[in-house]
Amino acid sequence: MEDLKRKVVEIAKKAEKDGFCKCKSGNFSLKDKETGYILITPSAVSRELLEEKDIIVVNGEGTVIENKSTHKPSTETLMHLMAYKTREDVFGVCHTHAPFSTAFAVQKKEIKPVVLEAMAYGERVPVAKYGRTGTEALAQSIVEPLRISNACLLESHGALTVGKDIDEAFLNMQYIEEVARINIYAMVVGGGKEAPEFPKEEFEAIRKSDSSH
């Protein structure tokens, strides 16, 4: 369990270093395949000070199983739990306020799949309907988006990604932020015109080619 806590701390610190989170924002979790418990970052703790003992363990209903600190679980714990309930293949969840992705969330616009890298997270980045931070409404808002993609935007809030483990979830976060940035730059270069999407048939051809190897 300590190794898993260390991994959550590692990803949380990487996210802040990469500029995806400022100060105490964002939250990260992973699901232990052996116990089914979720290990999640605490609420309102600076990433610089974050240690393994600060990571909180909860069960699938959000009941605290282990807390070696005085901190409370992330205010977005309900959202993380919903991601795991919605997708049995998910064992890692990342939520950030990465600036380029969040710009699309504020505009309530999908991040279009304009480059091949979008295939990594499922091509689409749908927008989850607005829900206030920490509420059941926010948790429910991610259900439909996660049924079609490993990434979604939280309207007027930020971004959420999932993966087979927390490393993949964070990689998906890096990908959507990069694709969002390319979208914005392409619009500038194109004089305000939206960039064309990467051909869907090309995505399908590459996917078939990869599966045949």
Cα–Cα dist 177/210, whole Å: 24
pLDDT score at 47: 86
Quote the number of domains for the chain.
Answer: 1
pLDDT score at 179: 98
Confidence of residue 15 (pLDDT cuts 50, 70, 90): very high
pLDDT score at 100: 98
pLDDT score at 211: 65
Q: Considering the chain, what is the average pLDDT of its residues?
A: 95
Q: Hey, CA dihedral for 204, 207, 211, 213, is it positive or negative?
A: positive
Average the pLDDT over 21-30 and give the result.
90
- Supply the range of the domain harboring residue 169: 2-211
pLDDT score at 187: 95
pLDDT score at 197: 93
Please enumerate in sequence order all residues whose Cβ is within 8 A of that of 121, keeping only pairs 6 or more positions apart, or say none.
149, 150, 151, 161, 172, 175, 176
Please enumerate in sequence order all residues whose Cβ is within 8 A of that of 107, keeping only pairs 6 or more positions apart, or say none.
none
74-124 per-position pLDDT tens digit: 999 999 999 999 999 999 999 999 999 999 999 999 999 999 999 999 999
| CATH number, domain containing residue 140 | 3.40.225.10
pTM value is 0.94
pLDDT at 212 exceeding the cut of 70: no
Q: Which of 48, 58, 36, 44 is nearest to 12 (CA)?
A: 48
**The token pair that represents 36 in the structure block:** 């089914």
Strand-pair partners of 160: 95, 152
154-202 per-position pLDDT tens digit: 999 999 999 999 999 999 999 999 999 999 999 999 999 999 999 999 9
Confidence of residue 22 (pLDDT cuts 50, 70, 90): confident
Q: Among 20-24, 135-139, 202-206, which range has the highest average pLDDT? A: 135-139
